[in-house]
Every structure is written in structure tokens, then in C-alpha cells.
Amino acid sequence: MDRRRVARVTPPAVTTCEHHGEGHAAPAQAGIFAIGEAGRTGSHGMSHLAAIASTLVSVILPVFGLIVIGRLIIRFGIVDRGETKGLTGLIFWVLLPSLLFLSIIGSRTPPRLDVIGTYFAVALPLFALSVLGGIALLRLTIAQAAVFGLNAVFGNTVLLGIPIVGAIWGGAGLAVLLSIIAAHSLLLLPAATVLVELDRGVPRDRLVHTLRDTITGSLKNPIISSIVAATLWNATGLPLPEGLRRMLDLLAQAAPALALISLGASLPVLRRETVGPSVLLAVGIKLAVMPLGMGLAVTLAGIPAPASLIMIVTAALPTGANAFLLAHRSGAMMEVSAATVVVATVLSVATLTGILSAAL
């Protein structure tokens, strides 16, 4: 097992794939198969406990260790919480778009429609069931149920998903993840936003306006824009100028580590009284039900590895901050949503360790 490759937080295949093209993504994919072979060939002499320990040391600890560092620099006043806004802006507007642009350019892989279709064949019905369950079982309003549904299915695909997938599967893995990210905000956020507005009794013409603004805002998001820009560049067939490629590569190398530190620094403060049934149920759906459903879906759809494994890991990611942001904008369940983000992130250390140990 090549521990140096797996343990790196920066995705090593970003520049490697640049020289291989669409039909030669083997270096990025070899990482996952090499890990799998290591687990299989040593399965007779190596206990499952050792496999879990290996996953912890190689993947989970480096990733969540950086999240803890982000939390500690706020806790001890090294950086003021208000000062993290500039870091977050740098990450979302410059560093992560550079990483994603290079990943798509390097892999020369078009959007995976089979991945998008299968992933959201699970995510959208689960969102709908969560909303209905919130109304029927938890006695929530429609707006509260919309936030609850988003808490249950909207994963942290950017700040946490990109570093994990990039560290294990490299640029080829990121190309698969980006297919999910591109549709993530364009499908789930508008659906939740419309429900919140319906609960407010917004007129139909204003509802259409709100939906349009939500979708337009998602398309203007630098993460989505970088995916679209790279896809269009690939369509031209032109090589990326070496000077530009090198500059973007330097920016991309800083993205995963700073994204994780920023995630830790921005996590809301958890208060015990907010951890009630709405939090625990949403966390259970996000960390257990969704990855189990995704595992069944990729099996039925016949999606091969490593794409199938990436989809399961993505489904198991903890609740993303966008759920909390919608709660903040709507004024519905802000504290509950914040608690869900924190609890899901903490518990995902165990769930992601188990899933990655079984998969790799």
C-alpha cells in the first residue's frame, strides 16, 4: 500500500493526469485499486481491526486533524472568528476553483450522467421523505421540514468531500465527485428554498422569481463556474498553457488543507439543549440511511468502481453548511441546523472510517 499517496491531503493526480488525457487516467485510478489489492492480499493475515487502523492513520486522521486545527485556532484566539471570512473567500473564489478546473482539464472526462442520475435517484426521494417525515412525525412546519430535509441529505461535498476524494482517488476521482457537486446545489437547494417560500405564503409570481434567483445564484457560484469553464475548455481540445497550468497547480495544492482548516474554524458552537430528535434523526439519515441507499442504488445501476465507491463515500459525508445557511436566511430551525452540522461532522469520523475500511 502506497501510504504516501493515500495520506496526502493535496490531490497528487491533479498534475499527473494533465499528461495522460481521457484514455489514460490509470495513474489516478491505480491508487484505489492498489489500496484494494493491499487489503485483499493481506486479508488472511491482517484483521479487520488492522484495516480500520490503517484507514484511520492514512485518511481520516490527516483530514479530521486539520479540521481540529481549525477549531483550535479559534478556541485559543489565534485567529478571530470574524477573520476567517477572508480565508473562506480565498478558498471558495480562488483555491478550490483552481483545483477543480485542473482536475477536469487533466482527466478530460465529460460529466457522468449515470453518476448524477443514480445519486439523485436516491437523494431527491430521500429529501422528499425526510420533509414528509418531519411534518408527520416531528410536527414541523413546511419551512422547518424543508430545512430538516436538507440537513438529512445535503452533504459537505466541497470542504470535506474534495479533500477526502482527492487524497484517495486523485484527479480522476475528483472528476466523478464534480458531477455530483454540479447538480447538488442546482437540485436540492432550489427544492428546499421553494418549500420555505411556500410556507411563507409567497405569491406564485414571486415564487418563480425566487426559484430563478436560487438557480442563477448557484450557477454564479465559483465552484460551479469552474466546473462549467473547465468542461467548455475541454470541448475546445486546446492544451492549457504551461505557465497558467503551473500557476493553477500551485493554488490547487493549497486548497484541500486550507479548506479543512476553514471548515473547523467555521463550525458553529454546539449547545446540548439543541441536540434533540430533529438533530439525531437527521444525522442518522445522513450518515447511515443515505450511504446504505446509495450502496443499493449503485449495485442495481451497475456502476463500477471507483465511481460507485466515490458515490457511497459522498453520500456518507456529514451535513454541509448550506443547510445551516438556508436555515439562517429563512429563520427556521437555525440552532437545530447548526447542531446537526456539528454532530454529523463529529460522528462521521467513525462512519467514514468504517465505510472506507470496507471499501478500500
Q: What is the pLDDT of residues 34-59, one digit of tens each?
A: 334 334 444 444 566 766 677 667 77
Domain boundaries, the chain: 3-359
Q: What's the whole-number mean pLDDT along residues 282-297?
A: 96
CATH 1.10.40.60 is held by the domain 3-359? no
Yes or no: say if 348 and 287 are a contact pair by the CB < 8 Å rule: yes
- 122 band by pLDDT with thresholds 50, 70 and 90: very high
The percent of residues in the chain predicted with pLDDT above 70, rounded, is 77
Residue 319: φ, ψ to 5°: -55, 135
Residues 6+ apart with CB under 8 A from 100: 162, 174, 178, 223, 226, 227, 230
The residue with greater pLDDT, 18 or 356, is: 356
Q: 285 to each of 122, 139, 290, 298, how far by Cα in Å?
A: 12, 18, 6, 18
Q: Measured between alpha carbons, how far is 360 from 309 in angstroms, rounded to an integer? A: 9
The amino acid at residue 21 is G
C-alpha cell at 200: 411563507
Tally of CB atoms within 10 A around 330: 21
Using N-to-C axis directions, what is the helix angle for 48-55 and 334-359, rounded to 10°?
130
* Lowest-confidence segment of 101-115, 177-191, 245-259, 266-280 by average pLDDT: 101-115
* Whether the predicted pLDDT of 219 surpasses 60: yes
Mean residue pLDDT across the chain: 79
Among 197-201, 302-306, 322-326, the range of highest mean pLDDT: 302-306
C-alpha cell at 156: 459537505
Tally of CB atoms within 10 A around 313: 25
* Whether the predicted pLDDT of 4 surpasses 60: no
Sign of CA dihedral 347, 349, 352, 353: negative
* Helices assigned H by DSSP within 285-320: 290-301, 307-315
C-alpha cell at 62: 490527516
Q: 264 to each of 80, 121, 238, 260, 352, how far by Cα in Å?
A: 13, 31, 39, 6, 17
Q: Measured between alpha carbons, how far is 283 from 343 in angstroms, rounded to an integer? A: 7
The percent of residues in the chain predicted with pLDDT above 90, rounded, is 29
